[in-house]
Amino acid sequence: MLFENVRFLDTTLRDGEQTPGVALTSKDKVDIATKLDELGVDVIEAGSAITSEGERESIRAVVAEGLNAEICSYCRIMKPDVDYALACDVDSIHLVAPVSDLHINVKLKKDREAVRKMAIETTEYAKEHGLIVELSGEDASRADVDFLKSLYNDGVDAGADRLCYCDTVGLLVPEKAELVFSDICSAVKAPVSIHCHNDFGMGTANTIAALRGGAQQAHVTINGIGERAGNTALEEVVMTIEWLYKHKTGINTKEIFKTSRLVSRLTGIPVAPNKSLTGGNAFTHEAGIHVHGLLADTETYEPIKPEILGRERKIVLGKHAGKSSVTLAVKEMGFDVDDSQLHEILNRVKELGDHGKKVTDADLQTIAETVLSIEREAKVILEEYTVVSGNKVTPTASVKLKVEGQDVVEAGIGDGPVDAAFASIKKGVSGIADVQLEEYHVDAISGGTDALVEVLVKLSKDGKMVTARGSRTDIVMASVEAVLNGINRLI
């Protein structure tokens, strides 16, 4: 049956590190693997054991967590790779054999039969040592199909438990993917996986087409992270199957957004605002006509409810805001306004928007409280802060805060003075809130070294997100101001 019992092999931990500039610590990998396990993925490819001792330490750390998911190591068709994987006590290996003549002749400088022999011998060796083996054809979309099928069948005869078709540089198109998988799956004697790259933006479409053609497992990553243009995004495949094809996947979709944010934070790779499902704009609305429709029925401008992904709907206010937008936004803040008050709040919002300003949550709260003559005392007040930074000094910050009336002094270090300041503030408020910095943006409002800068931050606490602003000539103080404005809005 179509999409029945589809499995997910997540390669975020390995393919994510193929992205330039990404370097995950052992703790990072454990945190991501634990979250992937909560999501319900079937297999976690924790890395490539042959890479380094540090990589092996991180793989062993993931294995030691005792997760429900099968833990896998990437291996070449070489016995030393298998030995290193065995030393990490993984459950399985993703055994990758180059199958296109381009890869066989140019990269390996061998011929097809040499590759066949290496694949068979390495598969047998891994099976003799108790490993689950997924034999994968690298660059399969440019390989001779008859050779590929014969290699797969020889691999199964040697003990391979699963097979994988790798579209290594994203050359498949959906109609071809479905036909190829229909052919291969009927010709081999083991389940076949699909591993797509997104070079032409069709990773998800090709993965879905392969599953329609008979593939039983999809290789995916969180946020579509991976080398070059990335890999197929887990969230897109899961929600396409669940929402468009109406089949359950076994994935805990309410954890998708949290997992996306965790991976983005630990890898340092931001999620594009217009990214499907997990991007900041996916459930964000500004235009008055859209919000008016949402008030009548959220399905008018949303394909699914954000709660399904563990998200919240967001109303952004600016010059395009209408009465409906402001009504919904102030209602979500807990304010009860009459028509005249609503009209005044709307005018002030539009005035900010006309000056090119993005109206943050903290801005709207201030506007609403001013119009309603509400005086609110901040729960967290900055008494003083100090930062030390230099080319031979670890950036360090100390803060003295008044938190709910109590004096709190904390210090922190970071990659720079702003990062250190945030670390110290986060420690200072840890007794009442676990706050995460999700996004940080700086814009110079005027020119020169004494320019007035505007800092916009997005903070989260327990799944709730707010935006806040700070404006100063001192970038650190502007950042501190923005963060404190956001924290006071969150708590």
pLDDT for res 451: 66
* Percentage of the residues of the chain whose pLDDT score is greater than 90: 67
pLDDT for res 117: 98
Does 431 lie in the same domain as 358?
A: no
**Residue 393 scores a pLDDT above 60:** yes
**Residue 414 scores a pLDDT above 70:** yes
pLDDT for res 445: 62
**Residue 360 scores a pLDDT above 60:** yes
Q: Is pLDDT larger for residue 251 or for residue 288?
A: 251
pTM of the model: 0.82
Cα separation values, 235 from 32, 45, 163, Å: 15, 17, 23
Q: How many domains does one find in the chain? A: 3
pLDDT digits (tens, 9 = 90+) for 438-450: 889 887 666 666 6
pLDDT for res 396: 96
Nearest to 119 by CA among 87, 75, 83: 75
pLDDT for res 166: 98
pLDDT for res 248: 96
Nearest to 196 by CA among 223, 163, 212, 173: 173
298 burial (CB, 10 Å; 0-12 / 13-18 / 19+) is: middle
- CATH code for position 353: 1.10.238
**Residue 264 scores a pLDDT above 70:** yes
Q: Is pLDDT larger for residue 420 or for residue 296?
A: 420
**Residue 288 scores a pLDDT above 80:** no
pLDDT for res 267: 94
Does 109 lie in the same domain as 243?
A: yes
Does 314 lie in the same domain as 230?
A: no
Mean pLDDT for 148-172 is 98
Nearest to 364 by CA among 346, 386, 340: 346
Does 51 lie in the same domain as 183?
A: yes
pLDDT digits (tens, 9 = 90+) for 2-43: 888 899 999 999 999 888 889 899 999 999 999 999 999 999
Q: Which of 372, 398, 417 delimits the end of a domain?
A: 372
Residues sharing a CB contact under 8 Å with residue 435, sequence separation 6 or more, in sequence order: 426, 429, 459, 460, 461, 486, 487, 490
Most confident region among 209-213, 301-305, 378-382 by mean pLDDT? 209-213
**Residue 325 scores a pLDDT above 90:** no
pLDDT for res 24: 94
Q: Which of 267, 292, 310 delimits the end of a domain?
A: 267
Does 334 lie in the same domain as 231?
A: no
pLDDT for res 107: 93
Mean pLDDT for 283-301 is 69
pLDDT for res 464: 81
Average pLDDT, the chain: 92
Residues sharing a CB contact under 8 Å with residue 86, sequence separation 6 or more, in sequence order: 129, 131
pLDDT digits (tens, 9 = 90+) for 40-98: 999 999 999 999 999 999 999 999 999 999 999 999 999 999 999 999 999 999 999 99
pLDDT for res 489: 85
**Residue 487 scores a pLDDT above 70:** yes
**Residue 457 structural domain:** 380-490
Asked if the structure places residue 272 within a domain, the reply is no
Does 169 lie in the same domain as 62?
A: yes
Does 324 lie in the same domain as 301?
A: yes
Does 79 lie in the same domain as 180?
A: yes
Does 390 lie in the same domain as 329?
A: no
pLDDT for res 287: 55
Does 334 lie in the same domain as 462?
A: no
pLDDT digits (tens, 9 = 90+) for 167-212: 999 999 999 999 999 999 999 999 999 999 999 999 999 999 999 9
Does 289 lie in the same domain as 213?
A: no
| Residues linked to residue 380 through DSSP beta bridges, in sequence order | 403
pLDDT for res 203: 98
Nearest to 184 by CA among 138, 217, 215: 215
- As a dihedral over the C-alpha atoms of residue 110, residue 197, residue 19, residue 31, rounded to 10 degrees, the angle is -110
Phi, psi of 464 (to 5 degrees): -90, 135
Does 229 lie in the same domain as 80?
A: yes
* Percentage of the residues of the chain whose pLDDT score is greater than 70: 96
pLDDT for res 447: 61
Q: How far apart are CA 176 and CA 192, in angstroms?
A: 16
pLDDT for res 292: 62
Least confident of 118-132, 221-235, 371-385: 371-385
Confidence of residue 295 (pLDDT cuts 50, 70, 90): low
**Residue 238 scores a pLDDT above 90:** yes
**Residue 315 scores a pLDDT above 60:** yes
Q: How far apart are CA 204 and CA 188, in angstroms?
A: 24
- CATH code for position 225: 3.20.20.70
Least confident of 52-61, 225-234, 424-433, 450-459: 450-459
| Residues linked to residue 165 through DSSP beta bridges, in sequence order | 137, 194
pLDDT for res 93: 98
Q: What is the 3-state secondary structure (H, E, C) of the chain?
A: CCCCCCEEEECHHHHHHHCCCCCCCHHHHHHHHHHHHHHCCCEEEEECCCCCHHHHHHHHHHHHCCCCCEEEEEEECCHHHHHHHHHCCCCEEEEEEECCHHHHHHHCCCCHHHHHHHHHHHHHHHHHCCCEEEEEEECHHHCCHHHHHHHHHHHHHCCCCEEEEEECCCCCCHHHHHHHHHHHHHHCCCCEEEEEECCCCCHHHHHHHHHHHCCCEEEEEHHHCCCCCCECEHHHHHHHHHHHCCCCCCCCHHHHHHHHHHHHHHHCCCCCCCCCCCCCCCCEECCHHHHHHHHHCHHHCCCCCHHHHCCCCEECECCCCCHHHHHHHHHHCCCCCCHHHHHHHHHHHHHHHHCCCCECHHHHHHHHHHHCCCCCCCCEEEEEEEEEEECCEEEEEEEEEEECCEEEEEEEECCCHHHHHHHHHHHHCCCCCCCEEEEEEEEECCCCCCCCEEEEEEEEECCEEEEEEEEECCHHHHHHHHHHHHHHHHC
Distance from the Cα of residue 432 to its chain's centroid: 27
